Amino acid sequence: MAARSVSRIDLSKNVASGLVVGIVALPLSLALAVAVGVSPIVGLYTAAFAGFVAAAFGGSEFNVTGPTAALVPILSHVVIVHGAQALPMVAVMSGLLLVAMSMLKFGRVMRFMPGLVVTGFTAGIAIVLAFGQLNAFLAVSGTNPGLEHFHERALDTIEHLSTVSMTTPLLGLASIALLVMWPRLRGLRRVPGPLALLLGAGAAVPLLGIDTPTLADRYGELSGALPLPTLGFFDLATAATLLPASASVAVLGAVESLLSAMVADGLANAEVRHDPDRELLGQGLANIVSPMMGGMPATAAIARTATGIRSGATSRVSAMTHSLTVLGATLLLAPWAGMIPLAALAAVLIVVAWNIAEVPEVTRLLRRAPRGDLVVLVSTILITVFFDLTYAIGFGVAVSVGLLLRKLIALPAAQELLPDATGRIQEVSPELSDLIQSRPDVKVFTVQGLLSFHSAAAFEYELWGSEYETLVLRMKDVHDIDSTGLLTLEGVIEHRQRRNRRTLISAAPPNVLEVMDRFGLLDLVGRDHVFGATRDAIASVPPPLGPAPAALSSRRRLEPE
């Protein structure tokens, strides 16, 4: 009985949380559909059906899926170039790609997206989203809706500013002011600001006779009927043309959904973390089902997910309830949505754009981040705004990897262990330091990091000319070694053997020893020349007869690679 009681409490908490998120999602779903260039009802259907499928089959207990600001630039571009009738095909194709990514276990790979790239394309998306609302916010008329590029649309808007009257901009400014002030109004904060704005503005326009464009003026009366499943949009002939846009939606959907799931795990302090590959599967299925039910491409929404957790969500029941709430409200209230002014919807999205842009964080990065990181951030923003999101992600990742390799290459792959000004070798214990310094006939080099393609050249350069009679390679700090590293090490050993020089291996980790053994290096160097401890390797070398030879490189300065 106790377990049943707890279960009922948990269910009621998630249902209550889902109702809150559903109310929050209503105005956002309307506004995001309008921003893409399709009927507002499409956004509501997306939140209802894609949201439910993603919650049921996804890998996160908390993700809330629906239309998102992140997808607006890509989808609006598709509508401009191919028409609104292309969106269902884009949704299905991106869904199939997400399912394929799930089957190929790409979920864990996507989590390694550089943070600066995510910040950059998110800020770029926010700029495009906010600017895309200016025509509705100001009621600019006469502009060309077929212009594809940011700079073309900007110039077109500027050229038609003379068509603006004061009524709509004032309504838009008042809407932004209300959205900004609403969270500070005690007693009203439980009602989402966007919902309060749309309800208030929708009632004020007819009552006060405000002359401003509304949803009904652009899209006609919205139907509150339940959509019937259809595949009438399927057109295999357009698949190749829409593949680039579909790939962009899939990649961005994967990044946004997994990022949302990671944020949700942290906010909920969840003991069981999300399954990234299952989350991609859920998002893929959601995007396949969404267009069949009159929706468009969708992805997980971080803000709505966070709202659910803060409202008490503990399971996917909350996200499912959110979808049912949106569907119920659509069936009941859609006919009245036509009275909502477009300027109010534009104000909602401008505030959303400001929030997702993380302006304080971007400003701090621009002022304080290293120069190389600034290249990644600024380039990703500019390419997102002026070219294409896919190019921005690809460029940002490539530059980030290049900067990482540059830093890795700067680290010395091998260093001779030499005493510093205090007379001690700091990298090892005092006992080993004394032992190394007592045997100037044995040169000890420490090998560190990843002995890989990025460090092999520096490793070879450091050791190739070593004419020491006995060389100990202390490999305690080697984490891994790849084929390039193995070939390079093999070349160094063979080069020394041809000159009758002894090479010893010490303190290599088991995983590195296993790889070296499989490659044949232990047999090449001689298994009796492989030691678990550096002190044993040094002790195995007979001391020289007569006076100890002078250290060949005791005065040699370590140069950074």
d(CA 251, CA 545): 68
Query: What number of residues does the chain have?
Result: 561
Phi, psi of 209 (to 5 degrees): 65, 35
User: Which residues lie closer than 8 Å to 174 by C-beta, 6 or more apart?
Assistant: none
Dihedral sign from CA coordinates of 372, 376, 377, 383: positive
Distance in angstroms between the alpha carbons of the first and the last residue of the chain: 69
Asked if residue 83 has pLDDT above 50, the reply is yes
User: Which residues lie closer than 8 Å to 231 by C-beta, 6 or more apart?
Assistant: 292
- CA max distance for the chain: 109
Q: Which structure tokens are listed for 25?
A: 């999602």
Reported as a single tens digit per residue, the pLDDT across 131-180 is 888 888 998 888 887 777 888 888 988 988 888 888 999 999 999 999 99
DSSP, collapsed to helix, strand or coil, labels residue 441 as: coil
- Cα angle, residue 120 at apex, residues 354 and 386 outer, rounded to 5°: 90
Q: Where do the DSSP E strands lie in 178-323?
A: 299-300
Question: Which H helix or E strand runs over 415?
Answer: strand 414-416
Asked if residue 92 has pLDDT above 90, the reply is yes
Where along the chain do its domains lie?
16-220+232-369, 414-539
pTM (predicted TM-score):
0.74
Question: What fold is seen in the domain 414-539?
Answer: Transcription Regulator spoIIAA (3.30.750)
Q: Comparing C-alpha atoms, which of 459, 432, 433 is closest to residue 448?
A: 459
CB 493 within 8 A of CB 475: no
Reported as a single tens digit per residue, the pLDDT across 281-331 is 999 999 999 999 999 999 999 889 988 998 888 899 999 999 999 999 999
Reported as a single tens digit per residue, the pLDDT across 379-424 is 989 988 888 777 887 888 888 878 777 776 666 677 778 888 888 8
H helices present in 358-474, as ranges: 359-368, 371-386, 389-410, 430-438, 456-463
Dihedral sign from CA coordinates of 423, 428, 432, 437: negative
Q: How confident is the model over 360-372, as a mean pLDDT?
A: 85
Phi, psi of 454 (to 5 degrees): -80, -20
